[in-house]
Structures are given as structure tokens and as C-alpha cells.
Amino acid sequence: MKFIVSSSTLLKKLQILGGVINTSNTIPVLDHFLFDLDSSKLMITASDLETTMISSVDVDSSSKGSVAIPSKLLIDTLKTFPEQPLTFTVEENNTVEISSNHGKYALAYTEGDQFPKTITLDNPSSTKISSNVLAKAINSTIFASGNDDLRPVMSGVFFQLSSDNLTFVATDAHKLVKYKRNDIKASTLAEFIMPKKPLNLLKNIIDNDHEVTIEYNNSNAKFDLDGLTVICRLIDGQYPNYEAVIPNENPNVLTIDRSLLLSSLKRVSIFSNKTTHQVRLKIAGAELNISAEDIDFSNKAEERLTCDYKGEDIEIGFNSRFLIEMTNNLDCKEVKLEMSLPNRAGILRPLDGYSDDEELIMLVMPVMLNN
């Protein structure tokens, strides 16, 4: 088995695939890349058993075969080369020899058949989506998903595909984000929960607009995009009824400049209690008063902002970290905060920056104020 490949092209592909590999693996072969050569087409696979990523590279070769090459050693070696052709030759003594313009390097390899077989999806349903839409859906929701091992269904993003729209939801029970697209539809109704790791990988590899094909069944999902394939195991379980927690009647509506609110929250939250991160929002007339206090250390901050407000005077407490994170993840100039009572969830919506076919709702639970 022998092939010639561009050093920079190979490095670029391997750095993307390297995101799948865990720092510590129970099965040693998972620390390797699987190189599967079929004449001029080289397929490279990386896996952690839950998520598998496959990419193809065009090479100069006429041979066939498969070997697993140590990932860290290979990437570290490739990083040091300027752009040049490299010749990979599989030797008899279980080593792969890499020949460059200046020298030769030998790496011990593992037989390709030791590498776990890639999952194939039985009778999958499929839908097509623009990569930019997918990236926006991931970016809008993933930060709100939880990290609680006891509630695995909340540690991913819920995909709800229907013949009317596509909806993406993430929640950790304190905050919830729902992103809906009315301009994209699926042929069949489907619901599944995507883990965070493959979504982060997808988010990082989308760099221009192209079509993504999503295939899915009850246990796995597969994303095909621009020469890359990501296959992952779905999170098993029933997603909570998120519609039930979104309050419909919110008569108190605050409209304010997003960056003004964000910078104010960031400043005031420095003075909040380090356990509760509580900030107090007091709204009356056209004035928003944001304050925080840490009684244990006598730290205290208060800011007054002008806003547009319709409703009764209200005083409500929020965890500043959640509010900052949500405001930070909105891509708009002005935001709207809708409230009903101090003990009911607040709804954050963008006022601009999104098309008519998009709907983005962010829900944040209040915290009890201690007078």
C-alpha cells in the first residue's frame, strides 16, 4: 500500500477529524485514524464509538488497503512540514514510512480491521437543509443545553422535523431556547435528541453555504456535507414537553438596546453574590433599574437605563449568568423582555436581525428576591 498526498491538505482534514478523538480512550485503536485506500481515493475515519467522522482525500496511488495510524504522532509531524508532497508506504515490519523532501519517518501502525466498523443506518428517513441554517440553529440553541448526567435528555439539542417547519430546542431546566424555521420542511414527522459533541463538530466545520443531507432512524443520525460525513448515536429518551413551560400571557413588555443591556448586566453582575449570581430588575415607566448586592462582602452596584416599557411596575430577579449568556447569543440590535409576574419565567426575543421565516424564543426562570 503506497500513496502520495499534499501535506497541507492532509493536515487540514486530520485536524477536523481529530476533534472526534477523546483524550483518554479505553480501546487503544481509537487513538488512531483509519486510512482506507482505494486507488486514488483515501477515506480517513476517526471515532469514539459514539460519534464517527469520515472524510475523503484525493491521492496519487494505484493500490488498496487499510491501516490505522496514531493520530497525535501523525498530526504533530504534519504540522512541522511546509506544503509539499508526502509519500506514505506501508512496510512489512508493521510501520508506515513517510518520505518528505528532506527525510524519512517511520510510525508503527495497527491493522485496519482492528478499527471499529462504521455504523450503517437501517431504513433511514432523510431531509435536506442549508449548512448556514444548521449552523445558526446549533449556535442559537447549544449553549442552553444542560450538563447533568442524571438527565441525559437535557444534555443535547432536540430536533423536531415536520411537514410545516423545523424546530430546534435546548434546555437545562433554568433556561430554554427554541429556534424555529418555517421556510424548511421535512417529508415525514420525526423527533430526535442530538448530543452536544457532534453538534459542536458540525458547527466548527461549516465554513460556507452548501446543502447538508440529514439521515436518521431511532438510534442514529448521519450528516453529509461537502466531503465530510458525521455519524452519531442519538440520546435515548423522551424530551420534556417544552411548550407547556412557555407562558403565553406576558402583559409586561420591556424593549431595550441589546448591547446597552448586555454591558450593564456584565458590570453589575460583578458585584452579585458568587453563589446565586442574582441581579434585580426594577422597571417603572421608561426606566430600568439593574442592581446587585453581595451582603457577605458589602459589595453593591446599581445602574439606571432608559427603556421602552408597557405594563405595570415590576421587580424581578434573574441569574445574571443566564441572562448575559442569552443576550450575548442574540444577533440583533434591540431585544424584547416579556414578563407576567416576578415568579413566572421571562421571555427574551430579538426585535430585528432575523427573517420573517425565523422564530427565536429564549426563556429564563426567575430567582426569588430577598428584600
User: What DSSP assignment string belongs to 144-157?
Assistant: GS---TT-GGGGEE
CA-CA distance, 357 to 181, in Å (whole number)? 6
Alpha-helix residue ranges (DSSP H) falling in the chain: 7-17, 71-79, 131-141, 196-205, 258-269, 320-328
What pTM was estimated for this model as a whole?
Answer: 0.90
CA-CA distance, 69 to 55, in Å (whole number)? 15
Q: Which residues contact 194 (CB under 8 A, 6 or more apart)?
A: 156, 157, 158, 159, 221, 232, 234, 235
pLDDT of residue 209: 85
Strand, coil or helix: 116:
coil
CA-CA distance, 151 to 156, in Å (whole number)? 10
Which residue in the block uniquely carries the three cell numbers 430588575?
A: 281
For the record, the C-alpha cell of 225 comes out as: 456535507
CA-CA distance, 286 to 196, in Å (whole number)? 41
CA-CA distance, 186 to 35, in Å (whole number)? 35
For the record, the C-alpha cell of 147 comes out as: 450538563
pLDDT of residue 371: 63
Alpha-carbon torsion angle 148, 152, 157, 160, nearest 10: -150
Question: Domains in the chain, please, with CATH?
Answer: 2-114 (3.10.150.10), 125-243 (3.10.150.10), 247-367 (3.10.150.10)
CA-CA distance, 197 to 83, in Å (whole number)? 31
Give the DSSP per-residue string, 21-44.
Answer: S-SS-SSGGGGEEEEEEETTEEEE
Residue 33 CB neighbours (<10 A): 23
pLDDT of residue 148: 87
For the record, the C-alpha cell of 15 comes out as: 485536524
Q: Any idea what DSSP says for residue 72? A: H
For the record, the C-alpha cell of 369 comes out as: 428576591
Contact between 181 and 357 (Cβ < 8 Å): yes
Which of 201-212 are b and which e, b meaning 16 or more Cβ less than 10 Å from the residue's Cβ? bbeebbeeeeeb
* Among the listed residues 262, 360, 369, the one whose alpha carbon sits nearest the alpha carbon of residue 320: 262
For the record, the C-alpha cell of 199 comes out as: 453538534
Low-confidence ranges of the chain (pLDDT < 50): none
For the record, the C-alpha cell of 268 comes out as: 453589575
CA-CA distance, 342 to 312, in Å (whole number)? 12
Contact between 112 and 34 (Cβ < 8 Å): yes
Residue 65 backbone class (left: φ over 0; alpha: ψ -120 to 50; beta: rest): left
Contact between 137 and 158 (Cβ < 8 Å): no
